Amino acid sequence: MNAPASTTAATTRLGLAAAAALLAGCSIPIVSETELATESGRQFEEMRGSTPLSRDASLRRYINCVTDAIVAQLPEPYVSQDWTVEVFDEPDTINAFAMAGARVGIYSGLLKVAENQDQLAAVIGHEIAHVTEKHSLERINREMTTQAGVIGVNAALGGNRATAQVLQMGAQVGLSLPFSRGNETEADVVGLQFMAAAGFNPRESIALWQNMGKASKVGPPQFLSTHPSGDSRIQDLIKQLPAALKLYNEAQAAGRKPNCKR
């Protein structure tokens, strides 16, 4: 079935604009945060329909408790968004993600290495930081500039590819494609700030990554397949601890003392 003329025209404009940007040696925002959130939501629902969901009520309450505490410390507009948290029943999968549109996914296997609420907060804070710092959006616009240029030229010559293809590929950035080392470092720093401001002990982020390292000796966790780890990462976190501990102490003094139990 051919795409509607309006869709084809929109794709043509998208691609030609990107091609012009490429020729000019610059980049333009192809996909907006709203568009990415919409497509991410569609894929999130598809995952819910195709991946076993945890029916462990206590586990779900526990993960929601940690997430809610962190979300309460986010800047606008993220703190005002209605975050959706899903727990996937895959005990052999050590992984987690956050997506544009205020969505968080946790695989039950993550609890093998995130041994307490503070370690879980380190992971959730890190993943949410990818969203607040717009890492997926930056990555998709960088990659899709080239993709859209190709698609646009094809459409201009009579092709019928739809803008939805661009969005579909882009939404995968937050799920399966690796971020840059710079993005990961920034997510570590910002995520550490989020967890500490929420009243979680930032020292436990070190223990988390030590646990990740031990788990990788028997086969790398999926979480590590797209995230740099090792001594360098732990050393970077140690450097951030003084500032994070200041936020943690302030949170404790203000009465922010999460008590999330499984």
3-state secondary structure (DSSP) of residue 212: helix
Other C-beta atoms lying within 10 Å of the C-beta of residue 210: 15
Selected catalytic residue, list 127, 184, 186, 250: 127
What are the residues facing 105 on neighbouring strands?
86, 97
Do residues 119 and 208 touch, judged by C-beta distance below 8 A? Answer: yes
Closest CA to 179 of 89, 98, 124, 61: 98
Q: Please report the sign of the dihedral spanned by the C-alpha atoms of residue 17, residue 18, residue 21, residue 23.
A: negative
Nearest Cα neighbor of 209 from 127, 106, 123 is 123
In the residue annotation, 204 being an active-site residue is answered as no
Q: Angle between the 57-71 and 117-132 helix axes, to the nearest 10 degrees?
A: 50
98 — phi, psi (to 5°)? -135, 145
For residue 85, the cross-strand partners are: 104
At residue 23, the 3 state secondary structure works out as: helix
Active-site residue numbers? 127
